Structure 1
């Protein structure tokens, strides 16, 4: 099968369009306020969870939060059922990610977290706010349920792109809310090019 640059451009455009279609509404502002309250007022942390490709996105979001002044950890939802749930503290906030909103391990994690701390705050990133996860979480951030560019419509591609963008929005808006600056970044990022760049006048 011959492939063309035009086909590649079309795939790029579909990814870009999915980003444009992210529902930008009050739920994002509510999520930022909730994150700020739990982390920077009540001195908790963000506990992020997902499985498979969504879990990989979650790990990236967690490390990005850490380097920008908001403590975060990644909790594998399966390991949570074998004792790792103990990382959760009452002032923390859960951010869980599942495109379908049906991921059994994530739904079970919310159930276990609620059993441990009934008032724990939860945010989800999922395809549609009316799926099971969307109805369970306190705050739901919808990806707009984009169609995957995978020719089988199976491999997480476009959906993970949009998840990553939503994570970036939360990180950047929280940075602005706490007035995070280069000095703070430098204290958390000692080595490498970015560490050096953060120290440049």
Structure 2
């Protein structure tokens, strides 16, 4: 049984952690320096493929491969992970001549990869191999060989995949980001593939959250009727439009306080704040929150830039809070 840890072991734990991170950080520097034309060739193979990037690997390489496939798929490069053992029992049918295979193996000699490698050779499916051993079977069979630089594993014994998996993961991220930038993949594109979670919320557009039924009154509306519209809407603001339907102002709680004396004798145009802050429907909801916080307001009307000035919707700060934006 292992000895029980005590508070006196803290320095030892921290020293080990820093040693591991330092070893892996130096290996990543080596990886960056080692990249050459093979990396560019791998990118060209992926860009030429009409199908998917099929990622495969066994053990720790398989876990890393799943993450690489997920990153590629969410950044505009269709990808899927195929487990090599399952591939040998029917899943090879998922790998087609339109695809490109990205196969990972630290040693380059993983026996479970034999069938998927043979399948790519039999059907002329482009194969990108990633391994740490030059001249290994995987790299020799590959159309493009990506050789990881020689670096010590961070475990100290050289048997636990640590540094090698970190380098493989970083290499996958490098491929994904290079492809993303080449395709000019935008945050809006990312949201299409990643609508859930906090990141999806941050990339929500105003049009996704705004209300199309808006509290609007004409400029000539008596303030008594404006108050009724405002109280019924629950937005704390009413939009004021001219005869053409163009938004010319808003009436807010602050405007009401500033005109308390004889308020009901006024019209909407006499009380409203002219040239109000607005937001484009296509803007990120996060940008709308920034405007509301900066000007200490709780609602924004959405108006198309360069349009006819007609309001298209209204966004309340509570809509952003519910969506997880603010």
Fold match (TM-score > 0.5) = yes
2:82 is matched with which residue? Answer: 75
- Does the aligned pair in 2 maintain the 1:99–1:159 contact within 8 Å? yes
TM-score, structure 1 normalization: 0.92
- Structure (1 or 2) with the greater helix fraction: 1
Q: Which runs of 5+ in 2 are unaligned?
A: 4-8, 205-283, 288-326
Give the aligned length: 195
- Does the aligned pair in 1 maintain the 2:57–2:104 contact within 8 Å? yes
Give the SS at the match of 2:203. helix
User: For residues 152 and 57 of structure 1, what CA distance do their matches in structure 2 show?
Assistant: 21
2:94 is matched with which residue? Answer: 87
1:143 is matched with which residue? Answer: 148
User: For residues 145 and 97 of structure 1, what CA distance do their matches in structure 2 show?
Assistant: 16
Give the SS at the match of 1:94. strand
User: For residues 113 and 123 of structure 1, what CA distance do their matches in structure 2 show?
Assistant: 10
TM-score, structure 2 normalization: 0.58
Q: Which runs of 5+ in 1 are unaligned?
A: none
1:155 is matched with which residue? Answer: 160
1:25 is matched with which residue? Answer: 36
- Structure (1 or 2) with the greater strand fraction: 2
User: For residues 129 and 31 of structure 1, what CA distance do their matches in structure 2 show?
Assistant: 17
Larger radius of gyration: 2
Q: CA deviation at 1:4?
A: 5.1
User: For residues 203 and 68 of structure 2, what CA distance do their matches in structure 1 show?
Assistant: 20
1:198 is matched with which residue? Answer: 203
Question: Counterparts of 1:1-201 in structure 2 under 5 Å?
Answer: 3=12, 5-22=14-31, 23-38=34-49, 43-115=50-122, 117=123, 119-199=124-204, 200=284, 201=287
User: For residues 178 and 129 of structure 1, what CA distance do their matches in structure 2 show?
Assistant: 32
User: For residues 158 and 58 of structure 2, what CA distance do their matches in structure 1 show?
Assistant: 19
Q: CA deviation at 1:79?
A: 0.7
Q: CA deviation at 1:109?
A: 1.4
Give the SS at the match of 1:95. strand
- Does the aligned pair in 2 maintain the 1:31–1:123 contact within 8 Å? yes
The structure with higher relative contact order (CA 8 Å, sep 6+) is: 1
Give the SS at the match of 1:17. helix
Root-mean-square deviation over aligned CA pairs: 1.5
